Amino acid sequence: MYEVIVLKDGYSKLVQTGLREAGGSITLLKGPKNIIVDTGSPWDRDVLLSGLKKHGVAPEAVHYVICTHGHSDHVGNLNLFQSCVHILSYDVCRRDQYMMHDFARGIPYEIDDFVEIWPTPGHTGADVSVIVRDTAHGTVAVTGDLFECKEDLEDPELWQDGSESPEVQQQSRIDILKIADYIVPGHGPMFQVPSEYRKHIRVVMMSEEYSYSSGNSGDAVSTSVSKSECIIVETD
């Protein structure tokens, strides 16, 4: 069983036009393995080390460091952790040994019976989220910037502004909302998923194929395109 300990709450606020103050959440999962999810910015070294010390975990005793995506406020301080497995976006490595894992095909990476890493792209092309089951808070998802903060449930601009692909991110968000009791977002405190977001969302993928021809009559090329559309149906 794991304890989810947020060592630093993420934050983000616009201080003036063109200038934002932001820092990413840093989370320790303490249990059969010691796991850090996101390592803050390069200026968070002391916060990270003192937080670990307070909870009795030496940097050498960390088994996994997982960075949800490659933005600078989520990947500082990696070189404090020399003896663990590093997972950054879809890369899995220990020292110079890179282990192939097919996150890109949607395959989760299982650490043990309680902790899985899911590909949840959209904010960038290769984000991951960490799913922790059977905690004191039920199932907790540590998601990086897939969710900015609790308020982004009601105000989509908060997550869509920084999104490389809002359509893809929306699908990843739904995948998480279906299973998580609590979320640790990238830029706000941990929050409980409101029940209306858990129970009333069903996703139907529609796919349709169509063909078209292009080119001059002599060398016309026929192309088949498949189109996917995501429809959200609210049910109860």
- Residue nearer to Zn ion on the CB measure, 71 or 86: 71
What type of residue sits at position 75? V
Q: How far apart are CA 156 and CA 108, in angstroms?
A: 26
CB 143 to Zn ion: min, Å: 11
CB 126 to Zn ion: min, Å: 12
- Residue nearer to Zn ion on the CB measure, 44 or 145: 145
Q: How far apart are CA 88 and CA 109, in angstroms?
A: 12
**Residue of minimal Cβ distance to Zn ion:** 71
- Residue nearer to Zn ion on the CB measure, 89 or 171: 89
CA angle, 133 then 68 then 90, to 5°: 100
Q: Kindly report the backbone phi and psi dihedral angles of residue 144, in degrees, each rounded to the nearest multiple of 5, phi listed first.
A: 55, -145
CB 144 to Zn ion: min, Å: 7
Among the listed residues 38, 44, 127, 145, the single contact to Zn ion using CB under 5 A: 145
- Residue nearer to Zn ion on the CB measure, 145 or 175: 145
Helix (H, G, I), strand (E, B) or coil at 197: helix
Number of residues that bind Zn ion (CB under 5 A): 2
- The CA distances from residue 181 to 77, 116, 172, 202, in Å, are 29, 15, 16, 17
DSSP symbol at 73: T
- Residue nearer to Zn ion on the CB measure, 36 or 114: 36
Where would I find the H helices in the chain?
Answer: 45-54, 157-160, 166-179, 195-199
Binding pattern to Zn ion, positions 32-61, x when CB under 5 A? ------------------------------
CB 14 to Zn ion: min, Å: 16
Among the listed residues 66, 71, 173, 188, the single contact to Zn ion using CB under 5 A: 71
> Which residues contact Zn ion by CB under 5 A?
71, 145
